[in-house]
């Protein structure tokens, strides 16, 4: 049921962290992978090498998912190389970490374009290569439903992302395309290093997680693999939280 050989996945922000973990987990189960990146070329190439070591093919594409022309060009490369798309993982994320009173219109638009609007653009381009049984997954965070210090633009954009997933699930469901959100708890990735209170976030998450450890990128990747499998054919428009129980502590 996890033999996905012959399938093709596009993972945005796939060069590091959660994106890399998803790329590798899918590759280990036979999926050929398109790794998208915008700045970290060496990391993307390292991920591609690991994907190919796992026995899958890999295409590395530089594209800013907030720019329509980049997304258009990326799908052109994907279609030329593979001619199909089975799994679309919208993982690329960015945002400015500032108090709400210090935010500008540019900060707001930047986070919304990359973290939310990009999913719509990706689906609009990708759906023509997707068949019944294809999957769309968006990676979100607990900040979509919780107030986190300095997380205003990112949290708001993740909430918009989750709402968009629900609307896409209704619209694409009749086509047999499953659309869901994976919401990760506190994961110690490079992105978290930009938080001035990183250590406090991790310590609090660890102390309040019933299972007694932090969420890893591999934990998130395991859920992505599950959602790609035949075990998940009746899961639609849902937010699956991967946090060891942290969110239930209030």
Q: Binding site for NAD(+): which residues?
A: 13, 158, 187-191
Strand, coil or helix: what is 197?
coil
- Please give the distance of CA 132 from its chain centroid, rounded to a whole number: 21
All residues at 6 or more sequence positions from 154 whose CB lies less than 8 Å from its CB, including other chains: 93, 95, 97, 111, 115, 141, 143
Going by C-alpha positions, the residue among 82, 76, 65, 77 that lies closest to residue 120 is: 65
- Please give the distance of CA 57 from its chain centroid, rounded to a whole number: 20
Please give the annotated binding residues, written as ranges.
13, 158, 187-191
Identify whether 158 is a catalytic site residue.
yes
Going by C-alpha positions, the residue among 154, 146, 158 that lies closest to residue 99 is: 154
Helix/strand/coil percentages in the chain, nearest 5: 50, 15, 30
Residue ranges of alpha helices (H) inside the chain are 17-28, 41-53, 68-81, 105-112, 118-126, 152-172, 198-208, 217-228
Would residue 56 be called left, alpha or beta, if left means φ above 0 and alpha means ψ between -120 and 50 degrees? beta
Catalytic residue among 42, 151, 193, 246: 151
Identify whether 37 is a catalytic site residue.
no
Backbone angles phi, psi at 207, to 5 degrees: -70, -25
How many Cβ atoms sit within 10 Å of the Cβ of residue 67? 16
Catalytic residue among 37, 42, 67, 158: 158
Catalytic residues: 151, 158
């Amino acid at each position: 049921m996890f033999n996905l050989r012959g399938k093709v996945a596009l993972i945005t922000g796939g060069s590091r962290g959660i994106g890399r973990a998803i790329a590798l987990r899918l590759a280990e189960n036979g999926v050929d992978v398109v790794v998208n990146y915008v700045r970290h070329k060496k990391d993307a190439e390292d991920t591609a090498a690991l994907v190919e070591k796992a026995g899958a093919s890999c295409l590395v594409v530089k594209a800013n998912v907030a720019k329509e022309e980049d997304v258009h060009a990326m799908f052109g490369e994907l279609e030329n190389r593979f001619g199909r798309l089975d799994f679309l993982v919208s993982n690329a994320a960015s945002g400015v970490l500032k108090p709400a009173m210090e935010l500008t219109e540019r900060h707001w638009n930047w986070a919304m374009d990359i973290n939310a609007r990009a999913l719509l653009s990706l689906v609009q381009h990708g759906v023509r290569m997707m068949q019944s049984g294809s999957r769309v997954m968006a990676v979100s965070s607990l900040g979509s439903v919780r107030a986190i210090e300095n997380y205003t633009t990112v949290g708001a954009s993740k909430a918009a992302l989750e709402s968009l997933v629900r609307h896409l699930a209704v619209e694409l469901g009749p086509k047999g395309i499953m659309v869901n959100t994976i919401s990760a708890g506190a994961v110690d990735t490079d992105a978290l290093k930009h938080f001035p209170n990183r250590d406090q976030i991790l310590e609090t998450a660890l102390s309040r997680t019933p299972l007694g450890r932090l969420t890893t990128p591999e934990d998130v990747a395991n859920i992505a693999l599950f959602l790609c499998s035949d075990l998940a054919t009746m899961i639609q428009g849902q937010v699956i939280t991967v946090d060891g129980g942290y969110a239930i502590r209030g």
